[in-house]
């Protein structure tokens, strides 16, 4: 399928663009793209607008087919895409609206450790993290889950680790959905997926996954930052990873299974990568059961990584984790489909909300938020590239009204991995980062090359767009000190 956009694109305001329903055949709703003028050209040239229009053809879709300013080309859905389908009106669920890395997400740890102390021994700290955290393609770790223990982990997610002494109630409270989705079905996960995941819970993986030591550089909203435990000049650690090989296999299995469902239910699609089935169909329930299990695995994965990193920091800085103030700020999912109730045309409707490369953003007062943040809104964690910055935002009321409680998830790629590696020929990304005072370790030169800063959009521009659009408020800016990658 080509990436050339043939439809109409109308500018609604400084941060929103509309593809009117009907301007591309089969669209049931409008497409709405959140992007500033400097960002929209790449959205169109990169094919994102085509995929937004294609998603608007899905049965049961309501509101609009949405895209965040970090949008780029993905499998079926664009990365940065959001779509909600009405469960009671034959709405579908699509693996392309979740992606292969189910519940890829971000966890942020705050500390009382002065970043200046980390800088003095930064290379040693990064090397220690690189030794302690398993990284790389197919790499396993110290934790092995099989048989009944794997079934319990898939059913209960991070909560399963509570009895193992590898999680706390505070960790779970500061995790989206408490680190567990109801309705997970371990029986829907294939033996191949189970084998792939047996020793990968508690590992980072490769690609754009990372552990990053950061300094809280700037506070924009003092009250929200205080509620989240963020202080300028203090060390923070950000973890970005997902469900590893298990989640990838769950997606692969589902796409194969759902190809027949499209014809069975008479669904017409402009792109075969949008394979789907009604949420309430046997195939839809099977995929959701397996997807929820993979999401639970991902929350357990980030929980185990956080536990290992707490231990590393405690040893490195010769202190108790509690005395060092090592606590979780929040954990958010990026690639997930969840059944939620939202207002549509003045009526509460039960929806299947797909967020692919998009972050849940629930506003102040929402019952699902932890008590510490309920008055300020959900923490939204937005990682940038290795050389710039990451942001902590707070969700605003407008996100619930306009985007089914969703916002961007990162900077968003502008170069494919292959193009980024080509662009890095003859250069040392490690040395370029070192010249900025950033220590980077990876399994290979290609790992750093494909994730180089030039491969991503300007994180400041992406964040400014969702803030100007009223979806979020800026809370804090975090600057990278050191990073490990696969």
Of 258, 253, 245, 155, the residue nearest 194 (C-alpha) = 245
Instruction: Count the Cβ atoms, other than its own, within 10 Å of residue 237.
Output: 26
Q: Look at residue 231 in the predicted model and tell me its pLDDT.
A: 98
Q: Look at residue 2 in the predicted model and tell me its pLDDT.
A: 65
Phi-psi region of 184 (alpha: psi -120 to 50; beta: other; left: phi over 0): beta
Of 129, 124, 120, 440, the residue nearest 312 (C-alpha) = 129
Domains of the chain by start residue, with CATH:
10-414+456-485 (3.90.1860.10)
Q: Look at residue 445 in the predicted model and tell me its pLDDT.
A: 86
Instruction: Count the Cβ atoms, other than its own, within 10 Å of residue 466.
Output: 30
Can you give the C-alpha Rg of the chain in angstroms?
Answer: 21
Please give the backbone phi and psi of residue 30, each rounded to the nearest 5 degrees, phi first: -65, 160
> Which residue reads 């389908």 in tokens?
85
Burial class (CB in 10 A: 0-12, 13-18, 19+), 344: middle
pTM above 0.95, yes or no: yes
Q: What string of pLDDT tens digits covers the 486 residues of the chain?
A: 568 898 999 999 999 999 999 998 999 999 999 999 999 999 999 999 999 999 999 999 999 999 999 999 999 999 999 999 999 999 999 999 999 999 999 999 999 999 999 999 999 999 999 999 999 988 999 999 999 999 999 999 999 999 899 999 999 999 999 999 999 999 999 999 999 999 999 999 999 999 999 999 999 999 999 999 999 999 999 999 999 999 999 999 999 999 999 999 999 999 999 999 999 999 999 999 999 999 999 999 999 999 999 999 999 999 999 999 999 999 999 999 999 999 999 999 999 999 999 999 999 999 999 999 999 999 999 999 999 999 999 999 999 999 999 999 999 999 998 999 999 999 999 999 999 999 999 988 888 999 999 999 999 999 999 999 999 999 999 999 999 998
Per DSSP, what are the bridge partners of residue 18?
Answer: 10, 32
Rounded to whole angstroms, how far apart are CA atoms 311 and 321? 7
Q: Look at residue 101 in the predicted model and tell me its pLDDT.
A: 97
Secondary structure of the chain: what % helix, strand, coil (to 5)?
A: 35, 25, 35
Active site residues: 409
> Which residue reads 């409680």 in tokens?
405
Q: How many helices (H) and strands (E) does the chain have?
A: 15, 19
DSSP string for residues in 292-324:
HHHHHHHHHHHHHHHHHHHHHHHHHTTS-TTTT
282-321 per-residue burial string, b: 16 or more CB within 10 A, e: under 16: ebbbbbbbbbbbbbbbbbbbbbbbbbbbbebbbebbebeb
Phi-psi region of 40 (alpha: psi -120 to 50; beta: other; left: phi over 0): alpha
Rounded to whole angstroms, how far apart are CA atoms 104 and 85? 22
């Amino acid at each position: 399928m080509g990436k050339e956009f043939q439809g109409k694109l109308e500018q609604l305001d400084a941060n929103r663009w509309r593809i009117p329903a009907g301007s591309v055949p089969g669209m049931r709703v409008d497409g709405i793209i959140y992007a500033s003028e400097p960002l929209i050209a790449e959205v169109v040239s990169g094919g994102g607008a085509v995929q937004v229009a294609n998603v608007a053809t899905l049965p049961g879709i309501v509101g609009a087919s949405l895209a965040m300013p970090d949008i780029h080309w993905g499998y079926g859905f664009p990365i940065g895409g959001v779509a909600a389908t009405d469960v009671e009106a034959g709405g579908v669920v699509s693996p392309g609206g979740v992606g292969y890395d189910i519940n890829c997400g971000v966890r942020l740890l705050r500390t009382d450790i002065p970043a200046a102390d980390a800088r003095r021994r930064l290379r040693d700290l990064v090397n220690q993290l690189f030794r302690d955290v398993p990284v790389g393609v197919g790499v396993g770790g110290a934790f092995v889950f099989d048989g009944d223990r794997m079934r319990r982990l898939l059913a209960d997610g991070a909560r399963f680790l509570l009895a193992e002494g590898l999680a706390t109630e505070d960790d779970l409270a500061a995790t989206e959905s408490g680190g567990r989705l109801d309705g997970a079905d371990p029986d829907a996960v294939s033996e191949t997926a189970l084998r792939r995941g047996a020793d990968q819970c508690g590992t980072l993986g490769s690609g754009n996954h990372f552990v990053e030591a950061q300094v809280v550089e700037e506070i924009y909203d003092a009250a929200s930052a205080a509620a989240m435990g963020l202080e300028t000049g203090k060390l923070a650690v950000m973890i970005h990873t997902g469900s590893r090989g298990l989640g990838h296999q769950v997606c692969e299995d589902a796409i194969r299974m759902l190809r027949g469902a499209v014809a069975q239910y008479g669904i017409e699609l402009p792109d075969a990568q949008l394979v789907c089935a009604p949420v309430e169909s046997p195939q839809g329930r099977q995929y959701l059961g397996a997807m929820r299990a993979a999401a639970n695995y991902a929350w357990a994965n980030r929980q185990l990584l956080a536990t290992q990193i707490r231990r590393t920091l405690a040893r490195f800085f010769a202190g108790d984790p509690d005395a060092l103030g090592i606590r979780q700020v929040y954990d958010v999912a990026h690639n997930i489909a969840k059944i939620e109730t939202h207002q549509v045309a003045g009526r509460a409707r039960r929806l299947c909300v797909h967020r692919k490369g998009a972050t849940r953003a629930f506003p102040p007062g929402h019952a699902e938020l932890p008590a510490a943040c309920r008055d300020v809104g959900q923490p939204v964690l937005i990682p940038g590239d290795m050389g710039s910055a990451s942001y902590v935002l707070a969700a605003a009321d407008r996100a619930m009204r306009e985007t089914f409680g969703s916002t961007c998830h990162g900077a968003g790629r502008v170069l494919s991995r292959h193009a980024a590696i080509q662009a890095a020929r003859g250069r040392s990304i490690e040395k370029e980062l070192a010249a900025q005072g950033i220590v980077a370790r990876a399994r290979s030169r290609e790992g750093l090359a494909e994730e180089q800063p030039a491969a991503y959009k300007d994180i400041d521009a992406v964040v400014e767009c969702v803030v100007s659009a009223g979806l979020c408020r800026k809370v804090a800016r975090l600057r990278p000190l050191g990073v490990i990658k696969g």
